[in-house]
Chain A
Amino acid sequence: QVQLVQSGAEVQKPGASVKISCKASGYTFTNFYMHWVRQAPGQGPEWMGIINPHDERATSAQQFQGRLTLTRDTSTSTLYMELSSLTSEDTAVYYCARSVSGSFYLSDFWGQGTLVAVSS
């Protein structure tokens, strides 16, 4: 069965970076794009970007360009999301979400989420 298991909660200081992992299993890793979505407390989800695990090509939402890096490790079927220059507004739960094959807008499996708290 498809599983996306994310790394644990993080507390970071303003100005620091955070790197979250999403380990995939139960399917062919390189065949499915992966989205990253975050959700601030009490707010709706916000799309961050998408990565193609096959060639590591990634697209970021405009508001994250320059401080979001999406990567993958095919040897461990793990994807990574790194966000730099953190501020308190980056406090959120971060999710990886597998894209339905052939569709940019559909997702079928989500990770459990990783809480990132940014505080001095």
Chain B
Amino acid sequence: NFLLTQPHSVSGSPGKTVSISCTRNSGSIASTYVQWYQQRPASAPTTVIYEDTQRPSGVPDRFSGSIDTSSNSASLTISGLKTEDEATYYCHSYDSANLNWVFGGGTRLTVL
């Protein structure tokens, strides 16, 4: 299995833009899709980005995803920050050879 590494925390002011990185330690970031989950306290994770860049219906277009093969990482960008965006965000991918999901350690977003 590979590992996905995220910063422990990020912060931003309302209306600003923040990005959260997710770096894969082995194998190409482009070899398997990356998803991003949002988790609020005492709630199950919900998907905000799937298949690298796709937004589920109901997720505002302030949320966007990308991958960068040069740094072997994925990013979640949230623009026009709102206090309701405060949560922990997890990147997620999968090991198709071993049938396994892999999660990052999570990034706590604080909207100051």
Q: Which positions in A face B, CB cutoff 8 Å?
A: 35, 37, 43-47, 50, 59, 61-62, 95, 97, 104-108, 110-113
Contact = CB atoms under 8 A, between A and B. Distances in A.
B47 interface: yes
Centre residue among A95, A105, A107 by max chain B CB count within 10 A: A105
Q: How large is the interface on B (under 10, 10 to 19, 20 to 34, 35 or more residues)?
A: 20 to 34
Contacts of A107: 47
B44 A111 contact: yes
Contacts, number: 50
Given A105-B93, A106-B50, A111-B44, A44 B33 contact: no
B88 to A, nearest CB: 9
Contacts of B32: 105
A111 B50 CA distance: 19
Given A44-B90, A45-B90, A108 B47 contact: yes
Interface string B53-94: 000100000000000000000000000000000000010111
Contacts of B50: 106
A44 B104 contact: yes
